[in-house]
Amino acid sequence: MILNVLGTNAAGKSSVLRAMAQMDPTAVTVGRLTALPQLGVVLIGDYLTVGNKTPGADRISPNTALLDVLGAAQTAGAAAGYWAIAWEGIIIQTRTWHPAYLARGLHPAYLALEVALPLAFQRLYERSGKRPEDLSGGGSIVRARARTVELLTAWLRSQGAFVVRTDGTDPPEVLAKQGLFLAHSLYYPWAV
């Protein structure tokens, strides 16, 4: 099972996975992975180091390295008896990743944080002090990524994928629990 958290800049992707890591007092970061033993989940990225602004897949490049990390997460997680991998996916390449998950025997579920643009821009301003007009392309990249998430969720559903869409306004702890519930209910459907 893999839970892929999608969203534009400042949608709250990292915050959701940080909240997930904080739910497990035994969480530990090992290399490029954060293990959550009590939850049985491996996060791709370092979600425990305070001040780490880009903890997830954005720090792993190129894609071949990302595939290696995904493979390591899958192998280490299976060996430890974990049931899920979670990460904040690269939205532009999700059409490539979805078939790759299936080819690896992973069952993908998607939590799409479709944050309203004013809220995304407000969060970016709070984080960086930059207004939309100060951002690269005058904020057009953020707008384009938000639109990509909308189109992507429609495409994923057309492929039979499980997608939960949210406006991202709930606290990260709530969204983390929703993501875990989504993944858990698909992995253990009889437990719901």
Exposed/middle/buried for 30, CB within 10 Å: 0-12, 13-18, 19+?
Answer: exposed
Bond preceding residue 99 cis, omega within 30 of 0: no
pLDDT at 91 over 70: no
How does pLDDT run across 138-188, given as a tens digit for each residue? 888 888 888 888 899 999 999 999 899 999 889 999 999 998 988 888 877
Domain 2-191 has CATH 3.30.70.2470: no
Percent of the chain beyond pLDDT 90? 32
pLDDT of 63: 65
How many residues would you count in the chain?
192
**The model's pTM:** 0.88
Any idea where the domains of the chain sit in the sequence?
2-191
Rounded distance between C-alpha atoms, residue 100 and residue 65, angstroms? 14
pLDDT at 65 over 90: no
Q: Which residue has the higher pLDDT, 101 or 64?
A: 101
Mean pLDDT on 74-98: 83
pLDDT of 192: 46
Pick from 137, 160, 123: which is nearest to 8 by CA? 123
pLDDT of 156: 92
Residue with tokens 């991202």: 168
